[in-house]
Amino acid sequence: MVSEINDQNFKNEVLESDIPVVVDFWAPRCGPCDRMSPIYDKLSEEYKGRFKFGKLNVDENRQTAMKYYIMSIPLLLLFKDGQVVSSIVGAVHEFEIRMKVEALL
Protein backbone atom coordinates (compact mmCIF):
# COMPACT_ATOMS: atom_id res chain seq x y z
CA MET A 1 0.00 0.00 0.00
CA VAL A 2 1.27 3.44 -0.91
CA SER A 3 1.04 6.03 1.89
CA GLU A 4 0.05 9.63 1.32
CA ILE A 5 2.95 11.75 2.54
CA ASN A 6 2.58 15.47 3.26
CA ASP A 7 4.44 18.31 4.94
CA GLN A 8 2.82 17.46 8.28
CA ASN A 9 3.59 13.72 8.42
CA PHE A 10 6.88 13.63 6.48
CA LYS A 11 9.07 13.50 9.58
CA ASN A 12 7.10 10.66 11.18
CA GLU A 13 6.43 8.62 8.02
CA VAL A 14 9.81 9.03 6.35
CA LEU A 15 12.58 10.40 8.54
CA GLU A 16 11.65 8.35 11.63
CA SER A 17 10.69 5.16 9.79
CA ASP A 18 12.17 1.88 11.04
CA ILE A 19 12.36 0.56 7.48
CA PRO A 20 13.66 2.17 4.27
CA VAL A 21 11.24 4.48 2.44
CA VAL A 22 10.76 5.42 -1.21
CA VAL A 23 9.03 8.77 -1.65
CA ASP A 24 7.50 9.52 -5.04
CA PHE A 25 7.44 13.28 -5.60
CA TRP A 26 4.65 13.84 -8.14
CA ALA A 27 1.85 16.17 -9.26
CA PRO A 28 -1.56 15.61 -10.87
CA ARG A 29 -0.46 17.64 -13.91
CA CYS A 30 2.39 15.20 -14.64
CA GLY A 31 1.73 12.61 -17.35
CA PRO A 32 4.88 10.55 -16.65
CA CYS A 33 3.87 10.46 -12.97
CA ASP A 34 0.56 8.84 -13.96
CA ARG A 35 2.38 6.21 -15.99
CA MET A 36 4.64 5.35 -13.05
CA SER A 37 1.79 4.96 -10.56
CA PRO A 38 0.83 1.32 -11.40
CA ILE A 39 4.47 0.23 -11.15
CA TYR A 40 4.83 1.99 -7.83
CA ASP A 41 1.62 0.38 -6.51
CA LYS A 42 2.83 -3.08 -7.57
CA LEU A 43 6.22 -2.69 -5.91
CA SER A 44 4.65 -1.37 -2.70
CA GLU A 45 2.70 -4.64 -2.39
CA GLU A 46 5.73 -6.80 -3.21
CA TYR A 47 7.95 -5.15 -0.61
CA LYS A 48 5.26 -4.67 2.04
CA GLY A 49 6.78 -4.84 5.52
CA ARG A 50 10.35 -4.54 4.25
CA PHE A 51 10.15 -1.18 2.50
CA LYS A 52 7.66 1.67 2.79
CA PHE A 53 6.34 3.47 -0.29
CA GLY A 54 4.85 6.95 -0.13
CA LYS A 55 3.67 9.65 -2.51
CA LEU A 56 4.05 13.39 -1.95
CA ASN A 57 2.13 15.84 -4.14
CA VAL A 58 4.60 18.69 -4.76
CA ASP A 59 1.83 21.16 -5.61
CA GLU A 60 0.21 20.71 -2.20
CA ASN A 61 3.35 20.19 -0.11
CA ARG A 62 5.77 22.87 -1.20
CA GLN A 63 7.70 23.00 2.07
CA THR A 64 9.03 19.45 1.73
CA ALA A 65 9.49 19.78 -2.04
CA MET A 66 11.61 22.89 -1.50
CA LYS A 67 13.62 21.29 1.31
CA TYR A 68 14.73 18.50 -1.05
CA TYR A 69 15.20 20.82 -4.05
CA ILE A 70 12.63 19.03 -6.20
CA MET A 71 13.07 20.56 -9.66
CA SER A 72 11.57 17.88 -11.90
CA ILE A 73 9.01 15.13 -11.47
CA PRO A 74 8.53 12.27 -11.20
CA LEU A 75 11.37 11.95 -8.74
CA LEU A 76 11.87 9.08 -6.33
CA LEU A 77 14.00 9.65 -3.26
CA LEU A 78 15.05 6.60 -1.28
CA PHE A 79 15.55 7.13 2.44
CA LYS A 80 17.27 4.92 4.98
CA ASP A 81 17.72 5.90 8.61
CA GLY A 82 16.28 9.34 7.84
CA GLN A 83 18.79 10.14 5.09
CA VAL A 84 18.47 10.28 1.31
CA VAL A 85 20.62 7.44 0.02
CA SER A 86 19.55 7.26 -3.61
CA SER A 87 17.32 8.91 -6.20
CA ILE A 88 15.66 8.13 -9.51
CA VAL A 89 14.69 10.98 -11.84
CA GLY A 90 12.00 10.66 -14.48
CA ALA A 91 9.79 7.84 -15.67
CA VAL A 92 11.85 4.67 -15.53
CA HIS A 93 11.37 0.94 -15.96
CA GLU A 94 10.26 -1.12 -12.97
CA PHE A 95 13.62 -2.92 -13.05
CA GLU A 96 15.52 0.26 -12.18
CA ILE A 97 13.37 0.95 -9.13
CA ARG A 98 13.60 -2.67 -8.03
CA MET A 99 17.43 -2.60 -8.27
CA LYS A 100 17.65 0.50 -6.05
CA VAL A 101 15.24 -0.98 -3.49
CA GLU A 102 17.04 -4.34 -3.39
CA ALA A 103 20.36 -2.57 -2.81
CA LEU A 104 19.00 -1.14 0.45
CA LEU A 105 17.62 -4.36 1.89
Query: Which residues constitute the domain of residue 16?
Result: 2-104
Strand order in the sheet with 52-57: 2-5, 52-57, 21-26, 75-80, 83-89
pTM of model > 0.85: yes
- At 27-47, the pLDDT tens digits run 999 999 999 999 999 999 999
Residue 33 appears among annotated catalytic residues = yes
Q: Is the pLDDT reported for residue 88 higher than 90?
A: yes
Choose, from 5, 21, 22, 30, the residue flagged as catalytic.
30
- Which residue, 31, 7, 16, 22, is CA-closest to 98? 22
Choose, from 23, 33, 65, 75, the residue flagged as catalytic.
33
pLDDT of residue 11: 97
Per-residue pLDDT, averaged over 16-35, amounts to: 95
Instruction: List the CATH number of the domain containing 77.
Output: 3.40.30.10
Residue 30 appears among annotated catalytic residues = yes
Per-residue pLDDT, averaged over 2-25, amounts to: 97
Q: What is the mean pLDDT of the chain?
A: 94
pLDDT of residue 96: 93
Counted domains in the chain: 1
- Angle (CA) 33-76-89 rounded to 5° is 75
- At 47-70, the pLDDT tens digits run 999 999 999 999 999 999 999 999
